[in-house]
Amino acid sequence: MKGKIILEEAFNLPRLAEDEAKKYASVHGAVLLGKALADIDGRIAAMDEAGIEMQVLSLTSPGCQGVSDPVEAHKMAVESNNYVAEKVRANPSRFAAFAAVSMHDPKQAAHELSRAVIELGCVGVILNDFQSSGPDGNVMLFYDNPSYDTFWATVEELDVPVYIHPRLATTTIFDQLYRDRKWLHASAWGFANQLSVHILGIATSGVFDRFPGVQLVFGHMGEHIPFDLWRLDHKLDRDRFPEMRMAKNKTIRDYFATNLHITTSGNFSTRSLQGAIAELSSSRIMFSIDYPYEDGLMEGSTWFDALPLSQPDLVAIGRENALRLLKLDRPPHNMKSGLTLKELEIGGLGDVGRSIGSAFDSPP
C-alpha cells in the first residue's frame, strides 16, 4: 500500500545520539541504532521503498521525561522542538513532528506545547511515561495528578493528540520483580505493564470527563489494554474507591469510542490486530513502525501490506485515521484524503492470484 502514515518514529538530537551510542557501545546494535536515530534526512528513500508517505517524528524515549533536573529537561524540550521543526520545514510532505515537553511543571509544559504547535507546527506531543524527578531521579510524576489539569486543558484547547510512550524505570523500585528476569523488564513485557497503569490512571482520574476533547494515543497494539477491557471495567470497584474521579457510569471501553487510540508500533501481529479491530473498531487504530527500534521500515510495511483485512480497514488504519486525527491535510503537510484503491495500490488481482484450474470446469 502506498500513502501510509507512521507515527511512533524516533529521532535523537545528534549530540545525544552520540552519547548514547558510546554509553551502550558494548551492546549489540547500539552503534547502529545511534546512527539511525540521528539521521532524519536519510529516511526518505526507505520510506519510498516501503510505501510510506508521511513519518511523524518524536524525540526518542525517555527524552525529557528521563531528565530529573527541571531546567535541563525544559532545555532539552526547547532544543528538540526547534531542531525537529526545521527538519519538518525542509520536507513537510514527508515529515511531521510531535513536540517534546518537560513535565516537571504542568504550566511550563502547556506553554512549550503551545509554542511547539502554534509557532513550530507540531501536530501533537509525545510523553514518555512518567517524569523522573527528585534529587536521585527516583520520584515518578504521573499525569493523572490534579496539578496536570492545566496541561490537559491546553491540550484540549490546541486540539492536538497526545502520544504516550513507554520508558524504562531507571529507579530501583522494580528491583525485586525484574532483578532475576531482566529480559522481561523493558520492551518485551515490563514497558507495557508500567505504561498501562499510567494510561489507566489518566482515564480513571477523569481527565476525559473534564477535558472531553483530549485524544490519547498509545502504541504496541495498546499496551495490553484492549484485550482485557471487560475484566478491567468489571473489576473497577466504584463503590470502594469514591476517590476515583472518573464518571461513575462510564467504562474504560467508553473512552475508546471518544478519547483513546492505539497504533501497531512494534507489534506486527496479525491476530492481535484482528483482535484489536474486534475490540475497538478499525476507526481507533493506526499503523506505525517504531523506527528505528524495529529493523528498518520494511518488516512492518510488508506485514501491513499483506494483512488479511478489508480494503476500507487497510485505508483507515494505514492512512485516513492518522490523517484526520493529526489534521495532516492542512498546510504545510497538505496530504490528500480519499485516494482511490488504485492510487493506494491496494486490491486487484494481487491479493488472490490466478487459478489455472478452470480449464475443465465447463465446456469451451
Nearer to a copy of itself, 75 or 253 (CB): 253
| CB of residue 143 to a copy of itself, shortest distance in Å | 11
| CB of residue 229 to a copy of itself, shortest distance in Å | 7
Q: Is the dihedral of CA 167, 168, 169, 170 positive or negative?
A: negative
Check: CB of residue 77 under 8 Å from CB of residue 115. no
Check: CB of residue 61 under 8 Å from CB of residue 82. no
- 3-class DSSP state of 198: helix
CA distance 167 to 175: 16
| CB of residue 65 to a copy of itself, shortest distance in Å | 14
The residues that bridge with 54 in the sheet, in sequence order, are 5
What are the distances in angstroms from CA 63 to CA 76, 172, 211? 8, 19, 26
| CB of residue 232 to a copy of itself, shortest distance in Å | 6
Q: Write the single-letter amino acid at 83.
A: Y
Nearer to a copy of itself, 27 or 118 (CB): 27
Nearer to a copy of itself, 122 or 205 (CB): 205
Nearer to a copy of itself, 108 or 193 (CB): 193
- DSSP helix, strand, coil percent of the chain (3-state; round to 5): 45, 15, 40
Question: Which one of the listed residues 69, 180, 290, 313 is annotated catalytic?
Answer: 290
- 3-class DSSP state of 99: strand
Backbone angles phi, psi at 242, to 5 degrees: -60, -20
CA distance 155 to 110: 7
| CB of residue 85 to a copy of itself, shortest distance in Å | 24
Nearer to a copy of itself, 331 or 363 (CB): 363
Cβ-Cβ contacts under 8 Å for 223 (sequence gap 6 or more): 166, 191, 192, 195, 196, 199, 262
290 catalytically annotated? yes
List, by residue number, the catalytic residues: 290
